[in-house]
Amino acid sequence: MTQSLPGERSVFGPRAARLGLYAFLFASAAFFLLPLLLVISNSLKPMEEIRQGNLLALPVKPTFDAWLTAWKSACTGLECGGVRPGLWNSIKITVPAVVISTLAGALNGYALAQWKWRHANLIMLLVMVGLFIPYQAMLYPTVKILSSLSLFRTYGGIILVHVVYGLPYTTLLFRNFYVGVPEEISRAARMEGASFLRTFRSVILPLSTNILVVVAILQFTGIWNDYLLGLIFAGNDNLPMTVQLTNIVNNARGSASPNVNMAAAVITAIPTLIVYFLSGRYFVRGIAAGAVKG
């Protein structure tokens, strides 16, 4: 990505500086990897080893038992079926909610940045306020609104909730991206008589691949990891995986089995990790294209 190394020659000798640089990078990598390694290593221990104490010790006799328990037989209520039942629900909630909230954010951001409304900035600020409301404060009003639309505890309802709660975030990111896009591009299209949506679809969207990926990934993690909204708004048939995860990890009055808890945590995080590893490349390019340039 970089063609030349800018600002060559540091104050130190080049070799010493290089060494220091890698020492820092490796130390940082260790800092970032430590918790993940800890969780994975403990999820592979049998209960006897967990009781020994030291969480940082490596497993002596690694086993996938805890993973199997977490996946299909840990108790989550009346049923003891692990996190498996929620996997499909999580996918079917997350995918449409990510797509809609991302596209809607793009549309809003574009409108605010490129169409000269009178109070576009003011509107953006009003939308941004949404980033600072603790969302537990929004539960009750949201329940009332959804039930008046007969969407409370339905599949459509949970998607709508995720879209709405995500809009301030996605709108902000897109708006700040489109502010940096030269106006001439969309003006040319409009001169030829293209409508707002048409301009957006044929001119703006193709420019935005990178930012789309960035926002989609951020939304994916947010929605995938949500627990409370899923519990309240999804309804019994659509409960996401995080509900089962919480029921396994969080039972305050039962015997603790940390290895199963850790395995359950890793299993539920796998889809987001995959998404990151696969699209990390686009992620950085997307940002590099100016995603969050205030």
Q: Which of residues 176-215 bind other proteins (CB under 8 A)?
A: 176, 179, 197
CB of 176 or CB of 208, closer to other proteins: 176
d(CA 189, CA 194): 6
242, 86 contact by CB (below 8 A): yes
Can you tell me which of 27, 58, 60, 121 binds other proteins, judged by CB under 8 A?
Answer: 121
Binders in 59-88 for other proteins, by CB under 8 A: 75-80
d(CA 248, CA 254): 10
149, 140 contact by CB (below 8 A): no
For residue 95, give the H/E element and its range. helix 86-114
Can you tell me which of 72, 144, 187, 198 binds other proteins, judged by CB under 8 A?
Answer: 144
CB of 191 to other proteins, least distance (A): 21
CB of 8 to other proteins, least distance (A): 7
Interaction of residue 95 with other proteins, rule CB under 8 A: no
CB of 184 to other proteins, least distance (A): 18
Can you tell me which of 47, 99, 167, 207 binds other proteins, judged by CB under 8 A?
Answer: 167
Interaction of residue 277 with other proteins, rule CB under 8 A: yes
Query: One symbol per residue from 212 to 251: x for binding other proteins (CB under 8 A), - otherwise; what is it?
Result: ------x--x---x-xx--xx--xxx----xx--xxxxxx
**148-176 burial by CB neighbour count: b if 16+ within 10 A, else e?**
eeebbbbbebbbbbbbbbbbbbbbbbbbb
**DSSP secondary-structure letter at 57?**
S
Can you tell me which of 10, 16, 183, 198 binds other proteins, judged by CB under 8 A?
Answer: 10
DSSP 3-state of 184: helix
Nearest to 226 by CA among 161, 276, 277: 161
CB of 184 or CB of 237, closer to other proteins: 237
